[in-house]
Amino acid sequence: MIRALPGWALRTLDLPTEAGKTARDMDALHATLISVTFAGTLVVALMTFYYIVRYRRKREFETTRSLVASGKREFIQAGLLLSMFLAFWAWGYAQYLHIETPPDHAMVVYVSAKQWMWKFSYDDGQTSNDTLYVPEHQKVRLVMTSRDVIHSFFAPSFRVKQDVIPGRWVNIWLDAAEPGVYPLYCAEFCGAGHSTMLGQIHVLTAEEWAKWRRGANPEEMIARGREAAMKNGCLACHTLDGQRHIGPSWSRLYGSTVKLQGGATVVADEAYLTESMMDPLAKLVDGYNPVMPSYRGHLSAEDVGAIVELIRSLKDGGGQEPTIALPKLVVEKTGQTTETKP
Ligand code: CUA
């Protein structure tokens, strides 16, 4: 099986460089599919030519012979072609699942698109515009949203493209093996500056990456999330230590299976958490009242990312971390008499 395309083939086919294994695998399928299609077309063309010569009309008033096709042979031919198509489907479907499923333990970068730039927020609190920095040999999950219109994150060297939609968070992941600089495009017409919405993906060596990370504080994003949650009143209803309140606690929420009203369940991932901030009534948690307002337009993309990061940091429970004491006032408002001890 072809593992990857050599440089001359990439140039001939006008394909971008391959940044990692995902791109190489996809090119292997692409090349095989095209080669088989070309070979099939060639066989059909040659046979057509042969038949034209072999069975041409030789005399006037010559009639066409009546032929009855062998059912068995037709069955075998159709079966062979079908199994070939199914093999391509299975190969492509496996790749599709691979691309659509971000690996566990991938590094997370939050991406916010707006007219006409890309903004990247890293888990250590750093940000960058239009240039995404990732370390080599590291799988990177991008959690993306748009501030205004639909954009499309297109990194041809990684063979990935994903629409970025306002009010929703979507996932994509990059498989970066080789250090280098790869182009990033917006592939959805998003207004007058669409063609200028260009970026770069810098895959850094371990050494360069350490330099880029230096000085960054890994707790910064979580701290920002806590600050945003306090400022926006989230903590008036959600606790960080697992106590039940007006809304579900954020402790041990991330990655858990949430039971919804109506009996359905959902896994609390970035997409669900974000949807719950933007459209709280879309998926109501069983046993809670529909009292949460929408935060669409009130929270910046970075704050949403930071709050999700805070919730993620609590996935194994709040630990020894001092809980923000539940204000008594809020407890009284619900009419409950339970005392809460800070
Ligand atoms: Cu953003 Cu086109």
Q: How far is the CA of 269 from the centre of ligand 1 (A)?
A: 26
Which residue has the CA at smallest separation from atom 1 of ligand 1?
151
Please name the amino acid found at residue 315.
Answer: K
Q: Are 108 and 76 in contact (CB under 8 A)?
A: no
Q: How far is the CA of 246 from the centre of ligand 1 (A)?
A: 40
3-class secondary-structure state, position 325: coil
Q: Which atom of ligand 1 is nearest to the CA of 151?
A: 1
Q: Which atom of ligand 1 is nearest to the CA of 186?
A: 2
SS3 annotation, 64-122: CCCCCCCHHHHHHHHHHHHHHHHHHHHHHHHHHHHHHCCCCCCEEEEEEEECCEEEEEE
Q: How far is the CA of 179 from the centre of ligand 1 (A)?
A: 26
Q: Strand 199-204 vs strand 257-259: parallel, antiparallel, or unpaired?
A: unpaired
Residue 11 reports pLDDT greater than 80: no
Percentage of the residues of the chain whose pLDDT score is greater than 70? 90
Q: How far is the CA of 130 from the centre of ligand 1 (A)?
A: 12
Residue 38 reports pLDDT greater than 90: yes
Q: How far is CA 281 from CA 82, 170, 218, 261, 285, in A?
A: 46, 19, 33, 11, 9
Q: Which atom of ligand 1 is nearest to the CA of 150?
A: 1
Model confidence at 104, pLDDT cuts 50, 70, 90, reads: confident
Q: Which atom of ligand 1 is nearest to the CA of 187?
A: 2
Residue list, ligand 1 pocket, CB within 6 Å: 116, 151, 186, 188-190, 194, 197
Closest CA to 250 of 290, 299, 297, 306: 306
Q: How far is the CA of 165 from the centre of ligand 1 (A)?
A: 11
To 10 degrees, what angle do helices 71-100 and 21-54 make? Answer: 160
When pLDDT is averaged across residues 272-279 and rounded to a whole number, the result is 82
Considering the chain, what is the average pLDDT of its residues?
Answer: 82
Lowest mean pLDDT among 5-19, 68-82, 142-156: 5-19
Q: How far is the CA of 173 from the centre of ligand 1 (A)?
A: 19
Residue 120 reports pLDDT greater than 70: yes
Residue 228: what pLDDT?
A: 83
Q: Which atom of ligand 1 is nearest to the CA of 194?
A: 2
Backbone φ and ψ of 73, nearest 5°: -65, -40
Q: How far is the CA of 54 from the centre of ligand 1 (A)?
A: 57
